[in-house]
Structure 1
Amino acid sequence: MGVAWVFEIEQGSNQPSAKEVKSSFFTFFFSFFAFQIERTLEAGGAETVGTYLVDCIPYTPREKMTSNVNYIMHHSNFPQSTFSIAPGDKTNFKEMARAICDKGFDLIIKNMSSGFEPDNAAKFAISGTEYRFNDFSVRVGSALQVSTFKGVVVEVEYEPLFVTTQALMMLNDFMKHFFSKHVS
C-alpha cells in the first residue's frame, strides 16, 4: 500500500439541471469522459491490469449525539483492511480523523448500534479499471449510489513509498503530466 491521490472528475462550470442529471445523456457524458482518461493513460504507456471495487457505507450518529458521520470503506486491492474517515471541519483536512483497521472493525462498529447506525440510502460504490504505469497504479472508476450514476473518480497510487511527504514530488509530477488541471 503506497501513497494515493484520489479526486473526482468535475463536470466544469456547466452544472447540469436536475432533469439532465436523471437523463442517460449525463451518464453517457461521464462514461465517455472516463473512456477518454483511460485512452490517455494507455497512450502514455499505461497497461491495463484488472478491475477494482470500492464500497462505502456512512454510519451516522443517532439523535442527541455530537459525533461526526463515520465513513467505512473497503477496497478490493486491500481485502484485509477497512478504511475509516470521519470528516469534521471540511475545510481542515489535516485534522480529519482517518484510520486503517483490520477487517474486524466492521464487527466493532456494528456493535456500536446504540451510537451509530448505517445510512444505507447514502451507501455508494466505485468500480472501474486499474492501470499500471511503472511504479504507479491508476484506477479510473464510476461512482454509483444505489443505481444512480454520480460521477468519475480517479485514484493515483505511488506504490514504492509509504510516507506522504516523500511521495508528494513523484505524485505531483505524475499528476502534472496526466491530470494537470487537478494540481495546484
Structure 2
Amino acid sequence: MGVTILTQFALENKTGPQTVEVLSKRICALGAVQQGHFLVDCETYTSVPQLGHQRTVHVLHNSEQPATVFSLLDNGTKITALATDGLFDLLMMKMSQFYTSKKQTKAESKGLRYEIGDFYVKLGTVTVSSNYKGILVEVEYRPCVVPAMCWDLLKEFLQGFLGLTAPTNPPTYLQNRMQEVYTPIDTIHQYLEHFTMFRKSPGIYRN
C-alpha cells in the first residue's frame, strides 16, 4: 500500500446520497473507474470498574485487509496498536466480563471505491449506530510510502475534486510522522480520529 489521507466533506443543503453523487461525478470526470465497494468499521469497548484505571479498546476492520483485525488500546496516556487475525474478535467476546461494548457507538464508513492512475479514492458514508453522520473521503497514493515525499501531490489531487474544502495541511495524526514509512495501522489511526469526531457530532447533515 501507499500513503493514505482521510478528510471529511460536506455540501450545504445536500443529503448524504446527493453529496456522494456529486463527488462520484467529479472523480469520474477525471477518468476514475469504479472498483467495487469498501467498508471500515469500529467497535469500542471499555474496561469494567473492577479493573481499576479505565482502559478503552477500539477494534477496527478494513475490507482492504480482510484477514486482519486492528485494535487500539488506550490507557489514557498512550495508545498501543495491534494487528492480529480474526481470532481477536472471539477473544473480545470471551473477555466480555472485563470489557463491555459502549452502547450506540458502532461506527462504519462504507461506499464505492475508485481507481484513477496511481490513486485509489473511496467515498464513505459514515454512520454511528446506524445514524447518518457525514461523508469521509479516503485517497491513497500507491507509489509512495513516506508522507513527506508525496503530501504536495496528494494535496493537489484532493483539491482537484474537493475544491476549496480540500485540506491544506496533513492530517493531525501524520504531522509528526511525515518522514516515517506509512503502514496500514496509520490508516486505522486516521479512521479512529474521524469516527471519534463523528460520534461527538450531532449529525447535522441530512441523510
Within 5 Å, which residues of 2 pair with 1:34-73? 34-63=20-49, 65-73=52-60
State the alpha-carbon separation in 2 of the partners of residues 79 and 108 from structure 1.
18
* Higher strand proportion: 1
User: Which residue is 2:167 aligned to?
Assistant: 183
Please report the RMSD computed on the Cα atoms of aligned residues, expressed in angstroms.
2.8
Q: Gaps (5+ residues) in structure 2? A: 169-207
Name the SS of the counterpart of 1:66 in structure 2: coil
Q: CA deviation at 1:167?
A: 3.5
Could you tell me the percent identity over the aligned residues? 27
State the alpha-carbon separation in 1 of the partners of residues 75 and 161 from structure 2.
31
User: Which residue is 2:184 aligned to?
Assistant: none
Q: CA deviation at 1:11?
A: 5.9
State the alpha-carbon separation in 2 of the partners of residues 162 and 103 from structure 1.
26
Amino acid at match of 2:2: G
State the alpha-carbon separation in 1 of the partners of residues 71 and 150 from structure 2.
22
Structure 1 stretch displaced more, 60-69 or 128-137? 60-69
Amino acid at match of 2:69: T
1:139 matched to 2:122: yes
Question: Structure 1 residues 177 and 66, CA, compared in 2 at 3 Å: closer, same or farther?
Answer: farther
User: Which residue is 1:5 aligned to?
Assistant: 5
Name the SS of the counterpart of 1:78 in structure 2: coil
TM-score normalised according to structure 1 size = 0.74
Amino acid at match of 1:135: D
Of 8, 12, 16, the residue aligned with 1:30 is 16
Deviations 1:70-127 (A, max 9, x none): 32111112101222345688xxxxx754443333333344444454222252112222
TM-score normalised according to structure 2 size = 0.67
Question: Structure 1 residues 100 and 7, CA, compared in 2 at 3 Å: closer, same or farther?
Answer: farther
Query: For the Cα contact (< 8 Å) 1:57–1:120, is it kept in 2?
Result: no
Q: Gaps (5+ residues) in structure 1? A: 13-25, 90-94
